[in-house]
Structure 1
Amino acid sequence: MALDERDEKQPKLRVIFVGIGGATCSGKTTLAKHLRNILPGSVILHQDDFAPPQELIPIHPEYNVQDWDSAEGAIDWPRMTKALQHIKATGIIPPEHYSHDHLNEQKEVPVEQERLDRWRKVFSRIQQKHEAAGEKLVWVMVDGFLLYWHKEVVDSLDVRVLLRVPHDVLKHRRHERHGYHTAGMYSV
């Protein structure tokens, strides 16, 4: 079999990036995990995993504390865009990528089983249609509180979701959060 014939039989890869942005504790990761459970073969890429080492986080000029909200310095944008490009080209998260999300407290937010099953069936049919047409779909949820700041990241997203949550709800959720791990806490 000629090389060209083998290439023709390989399904065409289509990676769909679903951006999920919003304030800290707005439910981005929870939504991403629910979508991962619904969308066949999907994965999550957490923006927090691209935080630079803690000692490189910029210092706020007025308050003299590390400024984790400084968009320029709180995320290693070149490393994140490189990972997105790799995923778009291959359909897999780069092998050197390591997520720290499993170290974070995982609060269960239940969804009715009937609803989950209904949506799984919908997306399973969509997946089957694309496979029949010779296309492999890969869904990637990309969550982050600074997700919509960097133009190259924003431009790579096929679907953009912004979670808006009332201030008092965010304040309560942040108060309830017990420790949170990002890549910046560890040597990358």
Structure 2
Amino acid sequence: MSDSQNKAVLVGVSGVSSSGKTTLARLLRDILPNAFILHEDDFYKTDQEIPVNKDGVQDWDCLESLDLEALEKALDFIKTHGQSPPDLESKEDKNAVGESGVDKQRVAELKDQAHKNSGATSEVPIFIIDGFLLFSQEMQHIRDLFDVKLFLRANHKTVKQRREARSGYVTLEGFWEDPPGYVDSVVWANYAKDHAFLFEDGDVEGKLKEELCQRLGIDTAPQAVQSSMTACVDWAYTKISDHLSKRAAK
């Protein structure tokens, strides 16, 4: 199916846990006309099916914790029908993400700009999917479904600070709280393993392989915007707007 035939635009927002994915996704949903959110976390397996690692701890940050078949089917359904699958109910919106810290005036300006510039694309729904594993090597079949791929980075210190400040997460069947040491042994370890291929020498805090990212269509938030969600929203909005303009010109 060609880009012009798709009945929806899929925007993937990925990156390490606590990098601002869900915050950015919700802001973009509020700014863009006819925009909706889908969370990768809504495709976790049941609590009992989550793998247990060598330390006897459930691993919620590995590929095997997700129902990838259901995720791929949902994305295919959206591209074909321009709407969410009727049986999909989100639990992720029950999880708090805290204040975004974004200038409300800037959000209002972008929203006004988006509606003025929507033109021929105003009737095309935009689905923003946020998730920690959308662009990994093993997720190529799902990664290729996205029209826009936005990758957020955060260093280990920031991730550890933000993640450990959270109270926990609503799961399919209950509630999860990270045990001590979980960020280092599970969250960061999995992120590094699954995304090393995108970085020089496999160092996920180092330099990206820019040619590879370009070939895969992955746009990474510049260093200058990673410490400011307002700047991050500006960057993401520009990337999505560029895609919509190219789509309308076809």
Give TM-score, length-normalised by structure 2: 0.63
Q: Does 1:100 align with 2:91?
A: yes
* Superposed displacement of residue 54, structure 1: 1.2
Which sits farther off after the overlay, 109-118 or 157-166?
Answer: 109-118
* Superposed displacement of residue 13, structure 1: 6.0
Q: Alignment partner of 1:137: what SS?
A: coil
Whether the 8 Å contact between 1:21 and 1:146 is mirrored in structure 2 is yes
Aligned equivalents of 1:168 and 1:85: distance in 2? 37
Aligned pairs for 1:96-135 (under 5 A) are 96-130=87-121
Whether the 8 Å contact between 1:46 and 1:143 is mirrored in structure 2 is yes
Q: Alignment partner of 2:124: what SS?
A: strand
* Superposed displacement of residue 185, structure 1: 4.3
From 106, 130, 144, the equivalent of 1:143 is 130
Aligned equivalents of 1:22 and 1:167: distance in 2? 12
Larger radius of gyration: 1
From 151, 161, 172, the equivalent of 1:162 is 151
Per-residue CA distance 1:7-26 (angstroms, 9 max, x = gap)? xxxxx764111111111111
Q: Alignment partner of 2:8: what SS?
A: strand
Aligned equivalents of 1:75 and 1:157: distance in 2? 18
Q: Which amino acid aligns with 1:91?
A: G
Aligned equivalents of 2:13 and 2:75: distance in 1? 14
Q: Does 1:66 align with 2:58?
A: yes
* Superposed displacement of residue 40, structure 1: 0.6
Aligned equivalents of 1:83 and 1:32: distance in 2? 18
Partner of residue 160, structure 2 = 171
Q: Does 1:50 align with 2:43?
A: yes
Aligned equivalents of 2:19 and 2:62: distance in 1? 18
Q: Which amino acid aligns with 1:182?
A: T
Q: Alignment partner of 2:74: what SS?
A: helix
Per-residue CA distance 1:16-68 (angstroms, 9 max, x = gap)? 111111111111000000000101111110000000011111222x3232222
Question: Do the aligned partners of residues 130 and 68 (structure 1) sit closer, same or farther apart at CA in structure 2, a change above 3 Å counting?
Answer: closer
Q: Which runs of 5+ in 2 are unaligned?
A: 176-250
Higher RCO (C-alpha under 8 Å, 6+ residues apart): 1
Question: Do the aligned partners of residues 184 and 21 (structure 1) sit closer, same or farther apart at CA in structure 2, a change above 3 Å counting?
Answer: farther
Which sits farther off after the overlay, 175-184 or 136-145?
Answer: 175-184
Q: Which runs of 5+ in 1 are unaligned?
A: 1-11
Question: Do the aligned partners of residues 184 and 24 (structure 1) sit closer, same or farther apart at CA in structure 2, a change above 3 Å counting?
Answer: farther
* Superposed displacement of residue 147, structure 1: 1.2
% identity of equivalent residues: 36
Whether the 8 Å contact between 2:46 and 2:173 is mirrored in structure 1 is yes
* Superposed displacement of residue 162, structure 1: 1.0
From 82, 100, 104, the equivalent of 2:73 is 82
Q: Alignment partner of 2:56: what SS?
A: coil
Aligned pairs for 1:13-28 (under 5 A) are 14-28=7-21
Q: Alignment partner of 1:44: what SS?
A: strand
Aligned equivalents of 1:53 and 1:88: distance in 2? 26
The Cα RMSD (Å) is 1.8
Q: Alignment partner of 2:130: what SS?
A: strand
